[in-house]
């Protein structure tokens, strides 16, 4: 199946989000609520019966469509390659007249389209990361045709989710449903904007849950997809990315993310990130700027009959513990190699995807009850989850700090965790704005580049970058990563 989905993912890359295929690719308490505005975080899941008869979709459609938005993005032209500054710059100011120096080839600006779901009355919207990734401009079109400029709050490439905010009040929003209790065979609706056809609703049933190995693994290891998809046969096409999957109560149960396809268009099955993950990720992105994931610190393999025979296991239902990471929470709690994890917090973990989904709903420092089968006997352990650094600290993401440099004619912003992973850097600043008549613009340097050093000195924040430029005159040396991922050294 993985190879058959691949063509769609390729189209998704080429068209910069126009297609649904993502190239990437947790319940939350009220402490993560968004301000005082009504939101999906503070509105309880409905307990009433599904309105209408089986197959009656009008209630859910009418309830959900006002809260699903059309997201349009624009990306600046990307360079086809760049060379180092030329000595001709000193004399002519415009690069080598014979084709060297700062000259570059450019592609045309890229425009893309997707969907999003309003989750609070004051304008927070959840969508796919691949819909807004690398976007320079985001326009959000509401169901009533009003348009707003969108701002990215933060993104999570691992789950392919992002949160965007618009400045608006009293917006309709969807409440979070319960994807854990969603049943195979249950009717669902997909709401989005396929092919720029706004407010489109399609219906289908839940075909399967906990699907994994849908998204290709990143060969460079920049992201580690978190996969436990809801599979449906509701028609979903390019432009539906980030749109809503709702139950017949009109509650959000998933975010539509990928489709099974050989051509890039719908071929019978679509995949949605379950709302159990959406809730956790979006809440963390809003509150912390990144996702706080708890880890057991165990190496796991799904148990099958061959593995059970090889390791002399007494069960074939669960996830095998093959080893531990450094500072493993599971090992400290008493788990051992050859244990088979059968439940976490009372929920059966027959697959690795289910185990990871449950654990990743938790934050570092939270305690989970882990049931293991050890030599045929069930044993219970309380495990205090840790972060990737092996402790229980909460790690905040980007604070949104920005600083302006009049010397370079540019504004600098902090790097998100996604930026650091994407550009393979541990520190630096991102160029978020460029003055048309500024020094960076004069040398053809684009918005979105990452500057890691100024005059051979590493910079870790916008304020450090401004301090490194303070009082400077004449030429200056910049090192960093271009928008296409290539390394650069410029002498301006």
Binding site per annotation, positions? 130, 160, 239-241
Residues 6+ away with beta carbon under 8 Å from 350: 302, 317, 318, 319
End-to-end CA gap in the chain:
50
In 3D space, the residue among 392, 390, 182 whose CA is nearest the CA of residue 273 turns out to be: 182
CA distance 114 to 73: 8
Annotated binding site for substrate: 130, 160, 239-241
CA–CA separation, 347 vs 361, rounded Å? 13
CA separation for the pair 6, 206 (Å, rounded): 22
* 122 in active site: no
**Neighbouring C-beta atoms of residue 223, cutoff 10 Å:** 21
Cβ count near 55 (within 10 Å): 8
β 402-405/161-165 pair status: unpaired
Question: 160 catalytic, yes or no?
Answer: yes
Q: How far is CA 273 from CA 129, 131, 178, 475, in A?
A: 12, 14, 12, 50
For residues 189 and 193, what is the distance between their CA atoms, to the nearest angstrom? 13
Question: Exposure of 93 by Cβ count < 10 A (0-12 exposed, 13-18 middle, 19+ buried)?
Answer: exposed
CB 241 within 8 A of CB 128: yes
- What is the largest distance, in Å, between two alpha-carbon atoms of the chain? 81
Strand partners, 318: none
Across 349-395, the runs of DSSP E, i.e. the strands, are: 367-374, 377-384
**Selected catalytic residue, list 89, 122, 156, 160:** 160
96 is an active site residue: no
What stretch of H or E contains 201? strand 200-211
Q: For residue 157, what is the DSSP state?
A: T
d(CA 404, CA 491): 20
Three-state DSSP state, 156: strand
**Residues sharing a CB contact under 8 Å with residue 380, sequence separation 6 or more, in sequence order:** 369, 370, 371
Q: How far is CA 369 from the centre of its chain?
A: 28
Q: How many CB atoms sit inside 10 A of residue 19's CB? A: 28
DSSP secondary structure letters along 240-284? -TT-EEE-TTS-EEEEEEEE--SSSS--S-EEEEEHHHHHHHHHH
Catalytic residue among 85, 113, 130, 284: 130
List the catalytic residues. Answer: 130, 160, 241
């Amino acid at each position: 199946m993985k190879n058959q989905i691949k063509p769609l993912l390729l189209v998704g890359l080429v068209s910069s989000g126009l297609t649904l295929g993502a190239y990437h690719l947790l319940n939350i308490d009220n402490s993560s609520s968004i301000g005082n505005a009504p939101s999906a975080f503070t509105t309880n899941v409905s307990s009433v019966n599904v309105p209408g008869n089986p197959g009656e979709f009008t209630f859910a459609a009418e309830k959900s469509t006002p809260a699903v938005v059309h997201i349009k993005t624009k990306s600046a032209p990307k360079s086809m390659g760049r060379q180092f500054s030329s000595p001709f710059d000193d004399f002519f100011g415009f690069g080598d007249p014979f084709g060297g120096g700062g000259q570059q080839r450019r592609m045309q600006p890229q425009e893309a389209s997707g969907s999003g779901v309003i989750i609070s009355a004051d304008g927070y919207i959840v969508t796919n990361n691949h819909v807004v990734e690398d976007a320079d401009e985001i326009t959000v079109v509401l169901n009533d045709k009003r348009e707003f400029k969108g701002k990215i709050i933060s993104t999570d490439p691992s789950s392919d989710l992002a949160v965007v905010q618009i400045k608006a009040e009293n917006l309709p929003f969807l409440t979070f449903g319960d994807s854990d209790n969603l049943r195979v065979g249950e009717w669902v609706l997909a709401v989005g904007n396929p092919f720029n056809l706004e407010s489109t609703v399609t219906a289908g049933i839940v075909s399967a849950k906990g699907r994994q190995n849908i998204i290709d693994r990143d060969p460079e290891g920049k992201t580690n997809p978190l996969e436990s998809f809801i599979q449906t046969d509701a028609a979903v096409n390019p432009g539906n990315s980030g749109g809503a999957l709702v139950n017949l109560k009109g509650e959000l149960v998933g975010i539509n993310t990928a489709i099974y396809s050989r051509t890039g268009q719908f071929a019978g099955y679509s995949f949605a990130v379950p709302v159990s993950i959406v809730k956790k990720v979006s809440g963390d992105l809003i509150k912390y700027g990144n996702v706080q994931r708890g880890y057991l610190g165990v190496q796991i393999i799904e148990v099958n009959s061959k593995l059970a025979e090889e390791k002399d296991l007494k069960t074939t239902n669960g996830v095998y513990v093959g080893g531990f990471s450094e500072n493993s929470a599971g090992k400290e709690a008493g788990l051992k190699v050859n244990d088979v994890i059968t439940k976490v917090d009372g929920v059966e973990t027959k697959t690795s995807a289910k185990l990871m989904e449950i654990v990743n709903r938790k934050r570092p420092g939270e305690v989970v009850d882990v049931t293991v089968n050890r030599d045929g006997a069930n044993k219970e352990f309380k495990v205090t989850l840790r972060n990737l650094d092996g402790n229980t600290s909460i790690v905040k993401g980007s604070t949104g700090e920005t600083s302006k440099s009049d010397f370079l004619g540019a504004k600098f912003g902090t790097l998100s965790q996604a930026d650091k992973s994407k550009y393979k850097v541990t520190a630096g600043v991102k160029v978020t704005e460029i003055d048309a008549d500024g020094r960076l613009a004069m040398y053809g340097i684009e918005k979105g580049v990452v500057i890691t050093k100024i005059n051979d000195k590493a910079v870790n924040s916008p304020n450090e970058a401004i301090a490194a430029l303070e009082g400077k005159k004449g030429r200056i040396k910049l090192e960093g990563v271009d928008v296409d991922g290539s390394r650069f050294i410029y002498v301006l």
